[in-house]
A and B are shown apart, each in its own frame.
Chain A
Amino acid sequence: MTGGMLGFVIVGIIAFISAFFVVKSEDPVRSAIGLVVNFLAIAVAYFMLGAEFLGITQVMVYAGAIMVLFLFVVMILKLGSRDKVVDRAPLQRTAAIMLGIALLAMVMSAVIGADGAVASSVEVGPDFGKPQTIGKVLFTAYVWPFLLASILLLVGVVGSILLAKRKG
């Protein structure tokens, strides 16, 4: 096993386990911590793919901002308690897992069936993933989608304030 592959496997295992925690843990706080770890693992994967800017953004936006948001909500709403109430749809769990396995089998067979050696035969330029590249493209060719996304974020902010505000 080459060094690169070894690194990937480690990252993958960490990501998998943390994701499993997110899904499985009955304590929302534990789920949140699992999610942080998962985000960080994915950020490492981004670095491995050469997308430095996106990796850093991942760490800052997701692992930082969004996770803090989640934890705040968990704390404010006192949702720390376990799922005490009896599950009214006991079949749902089994069915969901079965569906998940079915879907996984399907897509994985497609991935494995494809040529496993799709290594980067085509080499990207040395500026792949550099902030300069991203910035230039984002503010030129993608300026309209960028503006739209900004407006969307603004609406999201206003909307969440409106929703969270106490009536009266």
Chain B
Amino acid sequence: MEAANYQAIYWVILLPLLGALFQTLVGKAMVQRSPGLGKLVSGGVAVGTVLAGFGIGLFHHLRLINDPGSVKAATITYFDWINLAQLHIPVELRFDALSSTMVLVITGIGGLIHIYATRYMAEDKDFTRFFAYLNLFVAMMLILVLGNNLALLFVGWEGVGVCSYLLIGFWHKDLANSRAANKAFITNRIGDVGLALGMFWLVALIGGNREVLGLTDARWLSYDVLIPAASQLLSQFPHETFWISLLLFVGAMGKSAQFPLYVWLPDAMAGPTPVSALIHAATMVTSGVVLLNRVSEIIALSPAAMSIIAGVGAITALLGAIMAWGQTDIKKVLAYSTVSQLGYMFIACGVGVFYAGMFHVVTHAFFKALLFLGSGSVIYAMAHNQDMRNYGGLGKKLKITYVIMGIGYLALAGLPFAFSGFWSKEAILGPAVNDTATLPLVGGLTVGAVAGWVGFLVAFMTAFYMTRMMCLTFGGKTERWREIEPAHHDDHGHDHGHAHGHAHDDDHGHEMDPAFFMTEEEAHAAAGHDDHHHHDLDKTHEPKEVPWLMWAPLIPMAIASFGLIGVWMYGDVWKAPHPHPFEGFLHSAEVVTAKNGKVEGGSALAPRNLEDHGDDHGKEEKKEKGVDTNTLVLVSALTFAGGVGLGLALYGRRLPASEGFDLSKWNPIQKAAGKQLYLDSALSGGSSKGVMGLASAFKVFDKGVIDGLLVEGPPKVVRAVGGLLTTLQSGFVRGYAALMQIGIIALVAYFAYVVSQRGGQ
């Protein structure tokens, strides 16, 4: 691999960064001068930088694929960052299959979303601020995936966290948005502490054993040195491996919204819809999966950690699917769906098929971004009302959006063969149900296998709640917003986003913990009435198809959501299920072969694909015969058909009365699901109480020990001693002389003592 061939990859990062600078330094002034032209230029620059990055990324990606070298990974060093005798951290990028895939996803989907956003945000007065944040986010995300060492990864990790915070709270005059942003940021900090601790531990362990490993390269925080060293060293430290893996996973949990740290993601929908699509569906939330892929060879050494990852993934997938069922806000449905799909990715990592996790990241990025943007179009068409109970029959009004979202829906629900979602889901669940490497749980099944079967259940529920969403939005004949009376403008801004005249009690109540920084009254008092929405949804509203700038960018995503490409690209799955083509792409050929060779050696890295059990190692397969591929496809098809059928039966014609605005008629399970099974309030309430208790304990400590003893203590001592000493400062000169004399005597006595001790030598 000639690193020089990939030298120019840094432009991918630099261009969005310059774009962000342009927005803040030039764009704002331009928009103030002439709004029309200014927005055109700054929007064009924002889109251009990202799309140019996509072009550069694609160019390098093709070069990587066609590279004759056997190891398809290039390390490009630019300059020194931290250079110590024992530790050298340069700013260097790693361009391999993993990072190039992510670069394409980020810049490709990011570019399309930027195009969409130029229209979606066109009337916002903070147009340039939005694109500055968005461009900065793209740059930070690229640093995260391209950086060749954990330090750079951490830079990107925190950078995307901050951009996410800024964008969730983009409309910060509404206090609910600010709170959502704070919640996301603080929840992410919990994960980041885990990540930082895991990194420190890893660094300490490797750094402390450099002699043992014979590491001569001071660059040992870089992946190309760190990962081989770690996998060599950590097999001797099973205990440390477990905790390091777990801590790294905690970091991934925070960013990727895994149970119990998922609570921020639904609230993050407070941000503009393009943000939800880009950050909270396609890219940032998948960075946990990217991290686990990067350190997969470390994590794979600890079956216990792998089991926990798979278990948490399964719980997250299940909870997300349940909660999505109870939502009435179209974006929230998609948000919980994202949580659920992220759970799938972690199941994949937990059972050792990291590549399948990445595969799902890629496919999910396309169809979920598509769904979010589509929902944004619906919301745009419906005067920024997000409540599905006010929709209905929109299929006839928004035909293009309907078709495009339909494709995304089928992909997410997993229509067999035709759509990408099916393929990536299969790639995860197939190895999962046959998993043997994680710890055993019940009935001879391992945690991974149980997670796999839970995954099928979730697939069924996914098909069901997505059908519900599509039916409530586009299906039926009743145009339910016709029932809304026109609003009086005196309470305008008080509850935008809600249907006037209808229940106001179901959304913000559970969305935010009232103890979160402000009381509800303060929140209402502080909420700005400077509203960005122009009019409210009422019966006079006539939904229109959105402008072409808002549906055209969705078409490439829709095309990418088709699995036909997958059939063409990954058609070999049926003939020789492993190596999975995506795995073959993601890892170099030797790695795949090497891993597959030691499949029964207990390495969790080995893909437990079906044929393994039957052919090569048949005699070792005593316990069970793996579930074979055809059965799995059948189960998948059944779950899809069952979910869609049930959804159509329940919601195909109309909104059931039991899910209307009157919450008392809701059935208790779904009501609980809508309120996140009360987990959020329990978690944030419990944690805020705990934190409050901890804080008051710290306050006592702070007041007593820190302030009283450490801060005010020394001055007090000094003052007391000084007061004592001032009595000596009598101004009595002969007294001073006498003190001096005493000192002289003491000195002489001391010297006499020393001389006598030396024995007169």
Which A residues contact B (CB, under 8 angstroms)? 88-89, 92, 95-96, 99-100, 102-103, 106-107, 110
The stretch among B186-194, B529-537, B714-722, B731-739 that forms the contact with chain A is B731-739
Residues of B close to A96: CB separation below 8 A: 734, 738, 741
Given contacts A96-B738, A99-B742, A99-B745, 19 further A-B contacts (CB under 8 A): A88-B732, A89-B732, A89-B734, A89-B735, A92-B734, A95-B738, A96-B734, A96-B741, A100-B741, A103-B741, A103-B744, A103-B745, A106-B745, A106-B748, A106-B749, A106-B752, A107-B748, A110-B752, A110-B755
Residue in chain B with minimal CB distance to A102: B745
Can you report 22 A-B residue pairs in the complex whose CB atoms are below 8 A from each other?
A88-B732, A89-B732, A89-B734, A92-B734, A92-B738, A95-B738, A96-B734, A96-B741, A99-B738, A99-B742, A99-B745, A100-B741, A102-B745, A103-B741, A103-B744, A103-B745, A103-B748, A106-B745, A106-B752, A107-B748, A110-B752, A110-B755
C-alpha gap A88/B732 in the complex (Å): 10
> What's the minimum C-beta distance from A103 to chain B, rounded to whole angstroms?
5
B745 nearest in chain A by CB position: A103
The 5 closest A-B CB pairs, nearest first, are A99-B741, A103-B745, A92-B734, A106-B748, A110-B752
CA of A96 to CA of B732 in the docked complex: distance in angstroms? 14
Contact B748 A92 (CB under 8 A): no
Distance A110 CA – B745 CA, assembled complex (angstroms) = 13
Band of interface residues on B: 10 to 19
Complex CA gap A39/B31 in Å reads 96
Which residues of the other chain, A, contact B745 by a CB distance below 8 angstroms? 99, 102-103, 106
Chain A residues with CB under 8 A of B755: 110
Q: B738 — which chain A residues lie within 8 A by C-beta? A: 92, 95-96, 99
Closest Cβ of chain B to A107, distance in Å, is 7
* Cα–Cα distance between A157 and B745 once the two chains are bound (Å): 34
B residues with a Cβ closer than 8 A to A are: 732, 734-735, 738, 741-742, 744-745, 748-749, 752, 755
A110: B residues at CB distance < 8 A:
752, 755
Contacts of A106 in B (CB 8 A): 745, 748-749, 752
> Which residues from chain B contact A92 at a C-beta distance below 8 Å?
734-735, 738
Give the chain B neighbours of A102 by CB distance below 8 A. Answer: 745
Separation in Å of the A124 CB from the closest CB of chain B?
Answer: 26
Chain A's closest residue to B755 (CB) is A110
Which chain A positions have C-beta within 8 A of B748?
Answer: 103, 106-107
Shortest distance from the beta carbon of B602 to any chain A beta carbon, whole Å? 82
Distance (whole angstroms) from the CB of A105 to the closest CB of chain B: 10
* Residues in chain A near residue B734, CB distance under 8 A: 89, 92, 96
In the complex, residue of chain B having the shortest beta-carbon distance to the beta carbon of A110: B752
CB distance from B748 to the nearest CB of A (A): 6
Q: Given the complex, which residues of A lie within 8 Å of B732, measured CB to CB?
A: 88-89
Q: Chain B nearest CB: distance from A112 CB in Å? A: 13
Residues on B with beta carbons closer than 8 Å to the beta carbon of A100: 741
Distance in angstroms from B149 CB to nearest chain A CB is 59
* B483 → chain A closest CB, angstroms: 102
Minimal beta-carbon separation of A63 from chain B (angstroms): 26
A80 to B442, CA, bound (A): 113
Chain B residues, CB < 8 A from A99: 738, 741-742, 745
Q: Taking the nearest CB of chain A, how far is it from the CB of B749, in angstroms? A: 6
A1 to chain B, nearest CB (A): 29
Identify the closest chain A residue to B741 (Cβ).
Answer: A99
The residue of chain A having its C-beta at the shortest distance from the C-beta of B732 within the complex is A89
Name the residue of chain B whose CB is nearest to the CB of A93.
B734
Whole-angstrom distance from the CB of A97 to the nearest CB of chain B? 11
B429 to chain A, nearest CB (A): 92
A14–B445 alpha-carbon span in the complex (Å): 113
Q: Which residues of A contact B742 (CB under 8 A)?
A: 99
Closest partner residue, chain B, to A87 (CB atom) = B734
Looking across the interface, which residue of chain A has its beta carbon closest to that of B737?
A96
Which residue on chain B has the smallest CB distance to residue A114?
A: B760
Q: In the complex, A106 Cα to B540 Cα: how many Å?
A: 112
Query: Bound complex: CA of A102 vs CA of B744, how far in Å?
Result: 11
The distance from the CB of B608 to the nearest CB of chain A, in whole angstroms, is 88
CA distance A126 to B752 in the complex (A): 35
CA A88 – CA B741 in complex, angstroms?
Answer: 20
With a CB–CB cut-off of 8 A, which chain A residues contact B752? 106, 110
User: Whole-angstrom distance from the CB of B761 to the nearest CB of chain A?
Assistant: 13
Which chain A residue has the least Cβ–Cβ distance from B749?
A106
How far, in angstroms, from A100 to B742 measured CA to CA in the complex? Answer: 10
How many Å lie between the Cα of A103 and that of B25 in the bound state?
80
State in angstroms the CA–CA spacing of A110 and B732 once bound together: 33
Q: List the B side residues contacting A89 at CB < 8 Å.
A: 732, 734-735
CB distance from B494 to the nearest CB of A (A): 82
Please measure, in the bound complex, the distance between the C-alpha atom of A95 and the C-alpha atom of B742, giving whole angstroms: 10
**Whole-angstrom distance between the alpha carbons of A106 and B738 in the complex?**
17
Bound complex: CA A102 to CA B749 (Å):
10
| Docked pose: A89 CA to B738 CA in angstroms | 12
Q: Given the complex of chains A and B, what is the CA–CA distance between A89 and B749 in angstroms?
A: 27
> What are the residues of chain B within 8 A of A95 when measuring CB–CB?
738
Nearest A residue to B748, CB-CB: A106
**Closest CB in chain B relative to A85 CB, distance in Å:** 14
A80 to chain B, nearest CB (A): 21
Please report the C-alpha to C-alpha distance between residue A52 and residue B755 in the assembled complex, in whole angstroms.
34
CA distance A26 to B732 in the complex (A): 20
The interface residues of chain B lying within 8 Å CB-to-CB of A88 are 732
Complexed CA–CA distance, A99 and B752 (Å): 17
A103 to B746, CA, bound (A): 9
Tell me, in angstroms, the Cα distance from A95 to B739 when the chains sit together: 11
* A17, chain B: closest CB distance, angstroms: 23
Instruction: State in angstroms the CA–CA spacing of A96 and B735 once bound together.
Output: 10
Separation in Å of the B553 CB from the closest CB of chain A? 86
How far in angstroms is the closest Cβ of chain B from A100? 8
Q: How far is the CA of A39 from the CA of B123 in the complex (A)?
A: 103
A107→B741 CA distance, assembly (Å):
14
Q: How far is the CB of B728 from chain A (nearest CB, A)?
A: 14
Cβ of B736 to closest chain A Cβ, rounded Å = 11
Separation in Å of the B214 CB from the closest CB of chain A? 59
- Cα-based distance from A54 to B540 in the complex (angstroms): 121
